[in-house]
Amino acid sequence: MSKALHNLQANNPIGIFDSGIGGLTVAHAISKELPGEKLIYFGDTAHLPYGDKSPDSIKYYAIRISQLLLQKRCKMIVIACNTASAMAYETVKDFVGRQALVVNVIDPVVEEVLNRKKKIKRIGVIGTKGTVKSDIYAQKILQGNPKLEVNSLATPLLVGMIEEGFFNNKISRTIIGDYLSRPRLKKIDSLILACTHFPLIKPEIETYYKGEVEIIDSAGVVARYVHDLLKKKKLVAVQKNPQQQFFVSDFTKSFEKSTRFFFRKKIRLEELGLWK
């Protein structure tokens, strides 16, 4: 962002949003990387999954959610969803303008891949139908290094499976194995987990590949990127026990129960009826 930002204050919150609770993996990584930051999370559970929605719908949801996060005086908006990052990042950036910083979950990973010291050549990408259809990872990676090969595969069953708590069991191993054995992913040397739900199945994916394929997940990469950007803008907060708030657009007990997988502890979800 080249132009000066509107009077942002370091102690203002970081807003984070996703289609549901998967983005909590990113929120958790940010809270570990930046313990002095107040976080406001919004999971659009009323519209989950985003992976099957049209770009126009996702842009519309993303704008409305960004408006809410700006009303809550967020200094930064993190789009903690690959599908929304692929389809609505430019729209959100234009809408937000100089009122806040905007970060997506794709650019930090692409930057990480292009700067890797260890040589990787054949990269696999797994994500929602929307993310894979956008072809955004291949476009951005090849723009940075045309010698790399990028093959993407939509793995839509994995999101519902993870949200239902099906991981580390026979069913998840079968579904993961079926997807990863597809011809598109043959002979890859690294795999990008292009969905914020997927850090939860990273150990199973690592076991499948027996350590022979490098698995790149975005949560830690994005958290470090957020830290660097805030440092650069002199906007890092150093608050003691900052408040964290977690909102969803449609509350159910089962979402609240599942938060413990994604945020590594159970958290309280509040409903904010943005669409009601």
β-strands 101-104, 122-127 pairing: unpaired
- Residue 199 found at the interface with ligand DGL (CB under 6 A): no
| Residue in 58, 81, 109, 192 annotated catalytic | 81
- Residue 87 found at the interface with ligand DGL (CB under 6 A): no
- Residue 51 found at the interface with ligand DGL (CB under 6 A): yes
- Residue 17 found at the interface with ligand DGL (CB under 6 A): no
Please report which residue ranges of the chain form alpha helices under DSSP H. Answer: 24-33, 55-71, 82-96, 107-114, 129-134, 136-144, 157-163, 170-180, 202-209, 218-232, 253-262
Lateral strand order in the sheet of 101-104: 101-104, 76-79, 14-18, 39-43, 244-248, 270-271
The C-alpha atoms of residue 7 and residue 79 are separated, in whole angstroms, by 22
User: Residue count at the site for ligand DGL (CB under 6 A)?
Assistant: 19
| Residue in 39, 65, 78, 195 annotated catalytic | 195
The C-alpha atoms of residue 65 and residue 44 are separated, in whole angstroms, by 8
The C-alpha atoms of residue 29 and residue 26 are separated, in whole angstroms, by 5
Instruction: Name which of 128 and 151 has its Cβ closer to ligand DGL.
Output: 128
Using alpha carbons, select from 182, 179, 189, 184 the residue that is nearest to residue 122: 189
The C-alpha atoms of residue 222 and residue 228 are separated, in whole angstroms, by 10
The C-alpha atoms of residue 152 and residue 191 are separated, in whole angstroms, by 9
Give the shortest CB-115-to-ligand DGL separation in angstroms: 22
DSSP type of residue 167: -
74 is catalytic: no
**Which residue from 13, 15, 22, 124 is in contact with ligand DGL, where contact means CB under 6 A?**
22
**Which residue from 159, 175, 176, 272 is in contact with ligand DGL, where contact means CB under 6 A?**
159
Residue with tokens 């990387």: 33
DSSP type of residue 13: P
Using alpha carbons, select from 210, 180, 183 the residue that is nearest to residue 198: 180
195 is catalytic: yes
- Residue 49 found at the interface with ligand DGL (CB under 6 A): yes
The C-alpha atoms of residue 117 and residue 83 are separated, in whole angstroms, by 28
- Residue 155 found at the interface with ligand DGL (CB under 6 A): no
Instruction: Name which of 31 and 196 has its Cβ closer to ligand DGL.
Output: 196
**Which residue from 12, 31, 66, 82 is in contact with ligand DGL, where contact means CB under 6 A?**
82
Instruction: Name which of 5 and 138 has its Cβ closer to ligand DGL.
Output: 138
Instruction: Name which of 82 and 99 has its Cβ closer to ligand DGL.
Output: 82
Give the shortest CB-216-to-ligand DGL separation in angstroms: 14
- Residue 91 found at the interface with ligand DGL (CB under 6 A): no
Give the shortest CB-127-to-ligand DGL separation in angstroms: 6
Looking at the chain, how many residues does it have? 276
Give the shortest CB-256-to-ligand DGL separation in angstroms: 17
Site for ligand DGL in 104-133 (CB under 6 A): 127-128, 131
Give the shortest CB-84-to-ligand DGL separation in angstroms: 7
- Tell me which residues touch ligand DGL (CB under 6 A): 18-20, 22-23, 48-51, 81-83, 127-128, 131, 159, 195-197
As annotated, the active-site residues are 81, 195
